[in-house]
Copies of this chain bind each other. A is one copy, B any other.
Amino acid sequence: MGRNQDIPKAVIKRLSLYSRVLQNLEIKNVQKVSSKELGELLGVNSAQVRKDLAYFGQFGVPGFGYYVSELRSKIKKILRTDRPLKIGLIGVGNLGSALLSYTGFKKQGFHIIAAFDNDKRKIGKKHSDIIIQDIANLEKTIKEKGIEIIILTVPVEKAQEITNNVIDTGITTILNFVPIRLIVPDYVRVHYVDLSIEIESLSYYVK
């Protein structure tokens, strides 16, 4: 399972961006694209596009460029988004319930298939086609449904404890919206989305 840990995180993020741009080109029925064009659409250098792809193999035709849909499907395979991703969400508060109903995920083929909370008033209620479950069922449901990624939108005070529980179930990939640095073992990957930090660092650039 230990996949090439040595590929820079920035490369993986750009791969996702390439994938989306290629999707847009596909919709427009564009057949071919060069690294130069792809780079321009994303604001990155053409050499970087080629180098990013070179980490994973050879996908282009010298003198020609890349076949749009072929490249896209290969990138999706690399990212493993060539199949439905099984996502669970913990903490159905403001942000959590917004993410549950966020159509942007569905558009990209990402489906949240389970949601958990500890609030008795929420448990059992239906939200965007899924029934909110008691967090006590976390391990059972994660295993039954084969959930691979957990989105964390719980209160700060509970975040570390719940993270520990999540890791105990065998989950290794977490998207954390809670403004706290989680302590996790090396093999667990946490990506942080910190809305306040985004605002605060934008503030510096206010004219």
Instruction: Check if A68 is an interface residue, CB within 8 A of chain B.
Output: no
Shortest beta-carbon distance from A147 to chain B in Å:
10
Instruction: List residues of chain B with CB within 8 A of the CB of A85.
Output: 199, 203, 206
A196 touches B104 (CB 8 A): yes
Contact of A79 among B1, B98, B189, B201 (CB under 8 A): B201
| Binary flags per residue of A14-43, CB closer than 8 Å to B gives 1, else 0 | 011101100000000000000000000111
Q: How many copies does the complex hold?
A: 2
Q: Known: A98-B95, A98-B97. Contact between A202 and B175, CB under 8 A?
A: yes
Interface of A is mostly: helix
Q: Known: A189-B205, A206-B172. Contact between A197 and B17, CB under 8 A?
A: yes
Instruction: List residues of chain B with CB within 8 A of the CB of A20.
Output: 179, 196-197
Instruction: List residues of chain B with CB within 8 A of the CB of A204.
Output: 3, 12, 15, 78-80
Shortest beta-carbon distance from A15 to chain B in Å:
7
Residues of A near any B CB (own CB < 8 A)? 1, 3, 9, 12-13, 15-17, 19-20, 41-43, 78-81, 85, 87, 94-95, 97-99, 101-105, 107-108, 110, 148-149, 172-173, 175, 179, 181, 187, 189, 191, 193, 195-207
